[in-house]
Structure 1
Amino acid sequence: PDRDAHRLAAYRYVLLGEVHDNAEGHRRRLAALTEAIEAGWRPAIAMEQFDRERQADLDRARRERPGDVDHLIAQAGAAGWEWSLYRPVIALALRHDLPLIAANLSRDDARGVMRGGAVFSAAERERLGLERPLPPDLAAAQTAVLDDSHCGHFPRAMLPGMLNAQAARDAVMAAALREHAAHGVVLLAGNGHVREDIGVPRWLGAKPAEVLTVAYLEAAGPHEAGAYDHVVLVPPVQRPDPCGAMHQTPR
């Protein structure tokens, strides 16, 4: 996929994944984007890292200090992200005056969805495609991913709410992409959101030929088979084993 960066412009929707804290994955993704943009492609850049209600803050920060990445992040960025990894791609967007789109559902709204709160109006639920129960195949696949990511110990009582919250995030990001697809749009998001079977593509309503999905993975797990158009494998980041404590035998 890195060698085929010029092909990105052939798609209306380009979804580029990430392992959030993997710097090499960010570097490889940035290189592909930079090559395509410097060749003349001018897509909008939608980012999971900016919550949708911060769009006005993002736009105002650009007007106040054009080209100032740190000011933009300070005014519109959500807490909890390692922003040093995103500075280069934001700088790329500002340098070429590309639209930057705050695409994500906020953590507060996601929690509201989990609790069954009325986060969306009836009209918005219909616009997002959330007015019906989740399709069984999507719920089953997402359940497997959640269980795997929680070392087989995901609390079953929380499952319906979590499934609804994940679907709401993906549907909201899909809606943001549709609104900015006229000249092409890129989504930068975690690999799970880029998956064709359970992620944002599921909610886009686009023709398959219009969508390109690229995952930047540290390893191709059992759930990833066929889930992306392309996979770029990157060296893993050393982290503590998240399942280690759960698998230790009590003394």
Structure 2
Amino acid sequence: MRRLFLSGALTAIAIAAGAGEIPPEALESLPSADVVILGETHDNPWHHANQAVAVAAIQPAALVFEMLTPEQAARVVPDLRGDAAALGEALGWAESGWPDFTMYHPIFTAAPEAAIYGAALPRDEVRRAVDEGAAPVFGEEAAAYGLAEPLPADEQAARETSQMEAHCNAMPAEMMGGMVEAQRLRDAALARATQQALDETGGPVAVITGNGHARSDWGMGRALARVAPEAHVIAIGQFESPPAEAPPFDLWLVTPPAERPDPCAMFRGE
């Protein structure tokens, strides 16, 4: 793995403080790292535009997408990469349930030579994790990625509360433990794909994923640190309003909110 190091006054100030808010233009001159995790709210176009800016500046050797399976990633070939409609069709994006591909396509073209890796898992495996736990679904490497260990009680409780809030406090509380296991499974899958990308390309690697997986305290970075402890990772979060307290990211920024209907209306029968 090629080793990269922190540089620049921005990082010296921001990282020393634990988490630093940055303006969008700072994405054009991010500090060097082996892995840069670029968080998002999935349906926010400003978040994807910012990711494209960051990727253009980093020019990573590899891009890892939460949204793609390894099989889909293999379909990203040079002849299709510049054509949003053709690439979206090849990926079956419209049937995937992710927001409009036009928001994501500029990320693919921002680093046209970057290898593409997918970290998404089949839905049946995610459902199994809800019922059986993440470790048996992930397989023989589960312990290496931390899945064989139970979470500390306080973290388990916090994560179950977070899952309940994400589901509008409308789902049975007893389901939240399984939802946390599904999240842990996805974190480990993202870490595995990122480690593969580092090993095969030498890095740097940029990861496109939701804020929940990007967070530095219990997201994919923690799983990655277990298998690639020498890798320097920077986690960047994006918010639609200023957070009430210091968020669990190395760097973070605030954007306008996306226009969307009330996501909890369906739970209220509206």
TM class by smaller structure: 0.7 to 0.9
8 Å contact kept, 1:105–1:173: no
Superposed CA deviations along residues 57-106 of structure 1, whole A, max 9, x for unmatched, are 4324516646444433333345111212111111223xx31111101223
- Displacement of 1:116 after TM fit? 1.3
SS at match of 1:15: strand
Q: 8 Å contact 1:215–1:230 — kept in the other structure? A: yes
Q: Which of 58, 62, 80 is matched with 2:73 structurally? A: 58
- The question of whether the paired residues in 1 share the 8 Å contact of 2:27 and 2:50 is answered with no
Decide which moves more: 16-25 or 103-112.
103-112
Identify the match of residue 100 of structure 1 among 72, 91, 116.
116
Q: In the superposition, relative to structure 1, how do residues 60 and 27 fare at CA in structure 2: closer, same or farther (>3 Å)? A: closer
Matched, 1:233 2:250: no
Over aligned residue pairs, what C-alpha RMSD do you find?
2.7
**Structure 1 position 134 matched with structure 2 position 151:** yes
Is the counterpart of residue 199 in structure 1 residue 219 in structure 2?
yes
Specify the alignment match of 1:153 in structure 2. 170
CA contact (8 A) 1:146 1:154 kept: no
Secondary structure of 1:142's counterpart equals helix
C-alpha distance in 2 between matches for 1:188 and 1:98: 13
Quote the residue 1:21 is aligned against: 43
Secondary structure at the aligned position of 1:158 is classed as helix
Q: Secondary structure at the match of 2:88?
A: helix
Deviations 1:214-239 (A, max 9, x none): 111102445x6331112211111233
- d(CA) in 2 for partners of 1:87 and 1:66? 8
Corresponding letter in the other structure for 2:132: G
The offset of 1:137, in angstroms, is 3.8
Question: 1: CA distance between counterparts of 2:261 and 2:76?
Answer: 37
Indicate the residue corresponding to 1:5 in structure 2. Answer: 27
Match for residue 186 of structure 1? 206
Residue aligned with 2:206, SS = strand
In structure 2, the partner of 1:43 is 61
Q: Secondary structure at the match of 2:118?
A: strand
1:46–1:155 CA distance, 2 compared to 1 (3 A): same
Of residues 71, 76, 96, the one that matches 2:91 is: 76
Give the distance between the partners of 2:129 and 2:108, measured in 1 at CA.
29
Range that drifts further, 108-117 or 11-20: 108-117
Is residue 2:263 matched to residue 1:242?
A: yes
Separation in structure 2 between the aligned mates of residue 7 and residue 68 of structure 1, nearest angstrom = 28
| Structure 1 position 49, deviation (Å) | 0.9
Cα deviation, 1:135-179, whole Å, max 9, x if unaligned, reads 334322211211222333341121221111100000110111112
One-letter code of the match for 2:259? Q
Secondary structure of 1:228's counterpart equals coil
Q: Supply the distance in 2 between the matched residues of 1:101 and 1:21 (Cα, whole angstroms).
A: 21
Name stretches of at least 5 consecutive residues in structure 2 with no aligned partner. Answer: 1-21
Identity of aligned residues (%): 32
1:216 aligns with 2:238: yes
The answer as to whether partners of 2:84 and 2:102 remain within 8 angstroms in 1 is no
User: Is 2:182 aligned against 1:165?
Assistant: yes
Q: For 2:147 and 2:190, how far apart are their aligned partners in 1?
A: 13
TM-score calculated relative to the size of structure 1: 0.81
Corresponding residue pairs, total: 237
Q: Which runs of 5+ in 1 are unaligned?
A: none
Counterpart pick for 1:86 among 104, 113, 126? 104
Deviation, structure 1 residue 124: 2.8
